[in-house]
Amino acid sequence: MAHHFRLQRVQWLDEIHADVRLYEHRTGAQLLSLSNNDENKVFGITFRTPVNDSTGVAHILEHSVLMGSKKYPVKDVFGEIHKGGLMTFLNAMTFPDKTVYPVASQNQADFYNLVSVYLDAVFSPILDPLNFKQEGHRLEIEGSGSTDAGGRLEYKGVVYNEMKGAYSSPDNVLSEYSLQSVFPDNTYGLDSGGDPRHIPDR
């Protein structure tokens, strides 16, 4: 039982020519390992993050987690990784019921470095309150970046602006409203990314 993981199941999948192993940690966390001849080494860590409103709290947390950790106290983890990384994929995504942090690289040393960064980010994030204001929402005076600072108050924030962009797409709006119509009373009927009308509610 290496690192408190116990092998639960082994299976060969012809469809993807992979040896699949399912492990369970003593905490109940599960680890799924697929081994095949793909040149990409891929890792992803996933957390259950079902939401009960459309304020985007899971999406804001996804962003804030990547704003520095105990071992890597840098302001922009993605930016630092991109400077010298050899990754073939790097992202973080929030879904209605989960948040996923996937990475991939064809270089083994780079791959293990990416895994180390992601594990430290999600298990030991700094979570500075100012990061939530930057990534979520805050009030600013319109035009405060210019010489004319006599404007009105307006909402700003990375996730807030990202979701305003998403809601400017008719396809995204139709998709979101379709889900809300089909699932009106559970997490799939809410916008885990955050509805700009509701993000400032929290």
Active-site pick, 39, 62, 80, 140? 62
Structure tokens at 95: 């879904």
**Residue 135 is a catalytic residue:** yes
Which residue out of 24, 39, 80, 135 is catalytically annotated? Answer: 135
Per-residue exposure over 168-191, b if at least 16 CB sit within 10 Å of its own CB, e if not? eeeeeeeebeeeeeeeeeebbbbb
HSE-up of residue 169 (Cα within 13 Å, Cβ side): 8
Clarify whether 162 is annotated catalytic. no
Sign, CA dihedral 55-167-103-79, equals negative
Are 4 and 29 contacting, i.e. CB atoms less than 8 angstroms apart?
Answer: no
Query: In angstroms, rounded to a whole number, what is the distance separating the alpha carbons of residues 148 and 142?
Result: 9
Contacts of 17 (CB under 8 A, 6+ apart): 36, 37
Q: How many beta carbons lie within 10 A of that of residue 162, not counting itself?
A: 17
What is the set of active-site residues?
Answer: 62, 135
